Amino acid sequence: MKKYQNYINGKWVDAKSGKTFENRNPANWDEVVGIFPKSSKEEVDEAVKAARTAFEKWRLVPAPKRGDILKTVGDIMVRRKEEVAMLMTREMGKVLMETRGDVQEGIDTAYYAASEGRRLFGHTVPSELSNKFNMSIRVPIGVAGIVTPWNFPMAIPTWKIFPALLCGNTVVFKPASDTPATATVLVEILLEAGVPEGVVNIVHGGGSEVGMAIVDHPDVDLVSFTGSTAVGKKISELASKNLKRVSLELGGKNAQIVMDDADLNLALEGVLWGAFGTTGQRCTATSRLILHEKIHDQFVSMLVERTKKLRLGDGLLPPTDVGPCVNEGQRNTDHSYVEIGLKEGAKLVCGGNIATGAGLDKGWFYQPTIFTGVTPNMRIAKEEIFGPVLSVIKIKSLDEAINVLNDTIYGLSSSIYTKNINDAFRAIRDIKAGITYINGPTIGAEAHMPFGGVKQTGNGHREGGWTVFEFFSEWKAVYVDYSGKLQKAQIDT
Ligand code: UN1
């Protein structure tokens, strides 16, 4: 069994206390994937110190050169794609096809960041005075604290770490304790590609000890976090003590609308993938299905029939469609929401229980579950479950569909299936979400597009695309006066 370490200031090291934690395969809890250091504030202090020292050199490396390193990172990820995907499946359970996709998203992010090294555009603007030159340039900020979830163990850390590095920041990285092995491989890859000592540091351990110590550290200049809205609020409060820059990617209660004119087979493939892909454990997962009354009954029966055929199992085995929940706690949460839905009077039409049978008895498997008769005020229509539980709501019109979709504290992803172009454009205009798909499921964001949500899904920042470089760099306004005399802005007119 492999023993993993922290990487701090250019060295692989254990936690000072010698404490460790285990990481087990959620499809087979007898298998220990690795043993990891259970770190504390002490290790965070060392990592931040190293990152602070390394920053003074790293910020001076030309951005195209930093980009070249990220190009090599992408190349190494291509080479190690299969191995990393298999490790990721063992670590958090999603099926191999999806863990390959997760690594691919990291590769795309690496190449995109590499090319940005030759852009990082600023602006030049005419001055109001003669013989004076105005420009704005992007400058690095400092030490970035990166705290990431387990559901995209490679993609999400790369969304944050690659742009952070490209912009000239150094990094202290705390991955989820359910997926520390994949995160460690990412650090190995960065080192092999030539990232200098101290520029990237990884500290394993719990969120309340390690994560919060990073957020609270006076020498961490910015924090990027993906996770629950509850934790995001705590981070925001803590970071506000020093007015730290914080990017939060939080919960969702994403919905797919299916109108009466939609291609129902296409909409069916979409919701199966959106609701039960990654066992429903995506921030972008479809957890509400909003059906026009004219197609409701037909669509529900098509959906239930196909959902019952989904094959649960170990994500490494080819026939598997749906892997396990990430851990026992998540499966308990899923089941508790089923009990809540039943109490609220929703109708359970599929699943609703722990999955048992051959190959399932040593994993955290849960049956893909569908409730109909859900009304927008029920908790199963409002709260993020983060599991394979879908709530179906019946509506009579496009206006009602959009109102129901918007009736949530969240606003990450959304989808509408319709052939009516006018309805599609009204949906694009009126849906309150960071992402809207037309005739596609709520999942499937691409690395070079802005990613993030409105309302309590985030705090206004976007990852991915050109927008993420805004977060990881600071603007400096520069004035060059070449007149050789004192010129007074606003006064010498
Ligand atoms: C997430 O669920 O946190 O769009 C990220 C998608 C993926 C990323 C999801 N490309 O579903």
Q: Which residue type is seen at 228?
A: S
Are 352 and 204 in the same domain?
no
Output the domain CATH number for residue 321.
3.40.309.10
Are 64 and 25 in the same domain?
yes
Are 21 and 132 in the same domain?
yes
Q: Which residue has the tokens 């299969």?
A: 82
Are 263 and 243 in the same domain?
no
Q: Report which protein residue has its CA nearest ligand 1's atom 11.
A: 443
Q: How confident is the model at residue 283 (pLDDT cuts 50, 70, 90)?
A: very high
Task: Report the b/e string of 212-229 with b at 16+ CB within 10 A.
Answer: bbbbbbeebbbbbbbbbb
Q: Which atom of ligand 1 is nearest to the CA of 446?
A: 10
Q: Which atom of ligand 1 is nearest to the CA of 283?
A: 2
Q: How confident is the model at residue 365 (pLDDT cuts 50, 70, 90)?
A: very high
Are 41 and 83 in the same domain?
yes
Taken in order 202, 203, 206, 209, the sign of the CA dihedral is: negative
Cα(321)–Cα(302) distance, rounded to whole angstroms? 18
Give tens-digit pLDDT for 185-196.
999 999 999 999
Percent of the chain with pLDDT over 90: 100
Taken in order 377, 382, 388, 390, the sign of the CA dihedral is: positive
What is the pLDDT at residue 289?
A: 99
* CA of 413 relative to ligand 1 center, distance in Å: 10
- C-alpha 446: how far from its chain's center? 12
Output the domain CATH number for residue 11.
3.40.605.10
Nearest-CA neighbor of 264 among 227, 239, 292?
292
Instruction: Flag whether 89 is in a domain.
Output: yes
* CA of 434 relative to ligand 1 center, distance in Å: 13
Q: Do 95 and 321 contact (CB within 8 A), yes or no?
A: yes
Q: Do 313 and 319 contact (CB within 8 A), yes or no?
A: yes
Q: Which domain holds residue 71?
A: 2-250+458-477
Q: Report which protein residue has its CA nearest ligand 1's atom 8.
A: 445
Which of 224, 443, 462, 468 gets mutated to test ligand 1 (max ligand atoms within 8 A of its CB)? 443
* CA of 282 relative to ligand 1 center, distance in Å: 6
What is the pLDDT at residue 388?
A: 98
Alpha-helical (H) ranges within 93-120 are 96-116
Nearest-CA neighbor of 326 among 133, 160, 93, 161?
93
Instruction: Flag whether 408 is in a domain.
Output: yes
Q: Which atom of ligand 1 is nearest to the CA of 155?
A: 8
Whether the predicted pLDDT of 264 surpasses 90: yes
Cα(405)–Cα(220) distance, rounded to whole angstroms? 38
Residues 6 or more apart whose CB falls under 8 angstroms from that of 8 comprise 43, 46, 47, 50, 201, 202, 203
Give tens-digit pLDDT for 16-56.
999 999 999 999 999 999 999 999 999 999 999 999 999 99
Nearest-CA neighbor of 445 among 432, 434, 459, 456?
434
Strand positions, DSSP E, 92-163:
123-126, 132-139, 143-147
Are 223 and 260 in the same domain?
no
List, edge to edge, every strand of the sheet that includes 254-258.
347-350, 369-372, 389-395, 286-292, 254-258, 413-417, 435-438
Instruction: Flag whether 104 is in a domain.
Output: yes
Q: Which atom of ligand 1 is nearest to the CA of 413?
A: 4
Q: What's the chain's length in residues?
A: 493
Are 37 and 62 in the same domain?
yes
Residue 283 annotated in active site: yes
List the catalytic residue out of 167, 283, 325, 350: 283
Q: Do 70 and 161 contact (CB within 8 A), yes or no?
A: no
Instruction: Flag whether 82 is in a domain.
Output: yes
Q: Do 474 and 222 contact (CB within 8 A), yes or no?
A: no
Instruction: State the total domains in the chain.
Output: 2
Are 330 and 216 in the same domain?
no
Which of 282, 412, 446, 449 gets mutated to test ligand 1 (max ligand atoms within 8 A of its CB)? 282
* CA of 446 relative to ligand 1 center, distance in Å: 9
Which of 451, 457, 468 gets mutated to test ligand 1 (max ligand atoms within 8 A of its CB)? 451
Cα(223)–Cα(331) distance, rounded to whole angstroms? 29
What is the pLDDT at residue 1?
A: 80
What is the pLDDT at residue 468?
A: 98
Instruction: Flag whether 359 is in a domain.
Output: yes
Are 434 and 307 in the same domain?
yes
Query: Span 145-173, mean pLDDT?
Result: 98
Residue 167 annotated in active site: no
Are 122 and 225 in the same domain?
yes
Q: Which atom of ligand 1 is nearest to the CA of 282?
A: 2
* CA of 458 relative to ligand 1 center, distance in Å: 15
Whether the predicted pLDDT of 134 surpasses 90: yes
Query: Span 93-99, mean pLDDT?
Result: 98
Q: Which atom of ligand 1 is nearest to the CA of 447?
A: 10
Cα(66)–Cα(54) distance, rounded to whole angstroms? 14
Number of continuous H segments (helices) and E segments (strands) in the chain: 14, 19
Q: Which residues pair with 348 in a beta bridge?
A: 371
Are 291 and 196 in the same domain?
no
* CA of 123 relative to ligand 1 center, distance in Å: 32
Angle among Cα 226, 158, 103 to the nearest 5 degrees reads: 110
Cα(230)–Cα(207) distance, rounded to whole angstroms? 13
Instruction: Flag whether 485 is in a domain.
Output: no
Q: Report which protein residue has its CA nearest ligand 1's atom 3.
A: 283
CB burial of residue 421 (10 Å; 0-12, 13-18, 19+): exposed
* CA of 283 relative to ligand 1 center, distance in Å: 6
List the catalytic residue out of 43, 46, 98, 249: 249
What is the pLDDT at residue 493?
A: 78
Q: Which residues pair with 437 in a beta bridge?
A: 415
Q: Pocket around ligand 1: residues whose beta carbon is below 6 Å from it?
A: 105, 151-152, 282-284, 443-445
Instruction: Flag whether 130 is in a domain.
Output: yes
What is the pLDDT at residue 414?
A: 98
- C-alpha 69: how far from its chain's center? 23
Q: What's phi and psi for 444, nearest 5 deg?
A: 120, 25
Instruction: Flag whether 487 is in a domain.
Output: no
Q: What's phi and psi for 192, nearest 5 deg?
A: -60, -35
* CA of 48 relative to ligand 1 center, distance in Å: 29
Taken in order 464, 465, 467, 473, the sign of the CA dihedral is: positive
Q: Which residue type is seen at 465?
A: G
Task: Report the b/e string of 295-320 with b at 16+ CB within 10 A.
Answer: bbeebbebbbebbeebebbbbbeeeb
Are 331 and 382 in the same domain?
yes
Which of 107, 224, 279, 284 gets mutated to test ligand 1 (max ligand atoms within 8 A of its CB)? 284
Query: Span 111-118, mean pLDDT?
Result: 98
Q: Do 274 and 388 contact (CB within 8 A), yes or no?
A: no
